[in-house]
Amino acid sequence: MIDKKYERMLLRRRFCKRVIFMILVFGLSFYASVLMFGDLKSTNVLQLIDLNRCPACYGVTVCPELYSNQILLESNYGWTKMFNAKNIYYGFTKSNNRRVVLKKLSHSWELKEFDSKLCKTWGLKENCKPTDLLSVKNADKKIKNLVKYNLSHPETEPRKGLVYCPYPYSIYSLLQPVFNNQLTKYASDVINIWTMLSINPEPIIIQVLPKSKGWPVPAFGGVCGRLELVAYEGEPLSSLMHVAWHRKLKFASKILAAAMDFTFKHDRFRFYLMDWSIDNIVANERDEVTFIDLEDVIVIDKHISPQKDLPHWYKRYSREFTGHGFTFSIHDLCKHHLSDHNLWAACYVLAGQENPLLYPIPNEVNVSRPHFDVLLNECLNGQDRFRTMPKLQQVISDMLADEKIVGFGAVR
C-alpha cells in the first residue's frame, strides 16, 4: 500500500519535472527567436526600406508612393515577422485595393554581411558612407565581373544570381530597360545595378521582361531602398497540388509555353531559369501562371561573334544525363547558342521525380491518350526535346478542348 503511494508520488514528481522542463525549453526557444528575428512591435512599410543604405540599394522609383502611405501592410506583422526570415511582406494598394508583395530580396543576415563588406569591396576607407560610392571610378568593371562566367575554366563553386554569357562586355544592352533607355547613366543608377546584381537581380529581370509585354513574371511596381514592390500573382503550385487534374493540365500548358518563351521569344537574349521549384511558380484564380523567383537566371546573348573559346557555339546543347534530380551545367549552357534547359526543367516540374504536377495521370487519360505519358518521358529522358515539345503541347491543348477531361464530370 505504502509502496504504491510512494510510486504514485514519484510518478507525479517525474511528470511535474517534465512539464517544467518543457516550459523552460519553450520559453528559451521563444526568447531566442525574439533575439534573432527582432522585436515584436508591428512592422511599418517605412521600417523595411533602409533608404539610408542608398545608393547601395535597388533604387527609389516607388518611394513617393510608400512615403505617402499608398501601400499598406496586410496585417500586423508582429508575430509573423518572427517567422518571416525570408523577408516577404504582403500588402495592398490604398487606391484600388490591389494585393502586392514587398520583397527585401534577401535574408537580413545576408544584407548585414553585404553592408559590412561594402567599403572594402570598393577599396574605400574603413568607415566609408554609402554615398562615397557615388564617386567611385571602376563601377562598370565591377558590374562585368559580377555577371561574367569564365569559359576556359569551369567554376567549381555553385553560382547564384545572374550569369551573363558568353562574354560580359554587352551586359549594358541587357540593362538598357533598367536605365529607362536614357543615354546618360547616372552614378547612382549604376551603383543600384551593381547592388541588385550583388544581392538579387530580380528587379532587373522583371524590368527586362515586362509582364505588360506578355512575359509570365510579376507586374513590377518599383523599388525603394532595399525593397522591391511587385503585384501579388497567386498561390504557389506547391499549395495547389490537390486541385482537379484538368486545372493542373492548364498550369502545365502554361509552364511549357513559358519555357519556350524564355528560350525563344526575346530578339536578342535567352533566359535560362535555374530554380524551377513549385514554390517559385504561382497561379491565380484565372489559372494564369507566373514565375515569381527570378534570382538565379542565366542570360545568353545570341548576337555575339564566337571566338576561339567557343568552338561549338552554333551547335545545340542537349542536357545530358548528369545524375538524379535537378542538375545542370552552367558551363555547357554558356558555350552554346541554344540549349534545351528550360524545356527539360519544365517537363521535370510536370513529370520529374520530385512532386510531379501531373502524376498520377488519371486512368481515363492513360486509356484514351497513352502517348501522353510516352511524350512526357521523352521530354524528360529523350534526345530531342525541341521535337518532343510541340507534340506534347498539341496533346495538352487537345485534352484542354476535350469535354470529357475539362467539362462536366472532369477527371480529378
Ligand X SMILES: Nc1ncnc2c1ncn2[C@@H]1O[C@H](COP(=O)(O)OP(=O)(O)O)[C@@H](O)[C@H]1O
What is the binding site for ligand X (CB under 6 A)?
86, 88, 101, 218, 230, 232-234, 236, 279-280, 282, 292-293, 295
What minimum distance in Å lies between the beta carbon of 293 and ligand X?
Answer: 3
Cβ-based nearer residue to ligand X, 59 or 218: 218
Cβ-based nearer residue to ligand X, 103 or 250: 103
Which residue is closest to ligand X by CB? 293
What minimum distance in Å lies between the beta carbon of 354 and Mg ion?
Answer: 15
Residues 6+ apart with CB under 8 A from 179: 185, 189
Of the candidates 199, 197, 211, 103, the one whose C-alpha atom is nearest the C-alpha of residue 141 is: 197
What minimum distance in Å lies between the beta carbon of 143 and Mg ion?
Answer: 25
Q: For residue 56, what are the CA distances in angstroms to 47, 59, 122, 224, 353? A: 17, 8, 12, 11, 41
Q: How far apart are CA 4 and CA 300, in angstroms?
A: 79
Enumerate residues 279-338 that contact Mg ion by CB under 5 A: 280, 293
Cβ-based nearer residue to Mg ion, 88 or 401: 88
What minimum distance in Å lies between the beta carbon of 281 and ligand X?
Answer: 9
Question: Of ligand X, Mg ion, none, which one sits near residue 330, judging by CB under 5 to 8 A according to partner kind?
Answer: none
What minimum distance in Å lies between the beta carbon of 88 and ligand X?
Answer: 4
Cβ-based nearer residue to ligand X, 216 or 234: 234
Question: Of ligand X, Mg ion, none, which one sits near residue 218, judging by CB under 5 to 8 A according to partner kind?
Answer: ligand X
Mapping DSSP to helix (H, G, I), strand (E, B) and coil, where does residue 289 land? Answer: strand
Residues 6+ apart with CB under 8 A from 208: 174, 175, 177, 178, 269
Q: Please answer whether residues 319 and 328 qualify as being in contact, where contact means their C-beta atoms are separated by less than 8 angstroms.
A: yes
What are the backbone angles phi and psi of residue 159, rounded to the nearest 5°? -95, 135
What is the size of the binding site for Mg ion (CB under 5 A)? 2
Cβ-based nearer residue to Mg ion, 279 or 398: 279
Burial of 236 (0-12, 13-18, 19+ CB in 10 A): middle
**What does the binding site for Mg ion look like in residue numbers (CB under 5 A)?**
280, 293
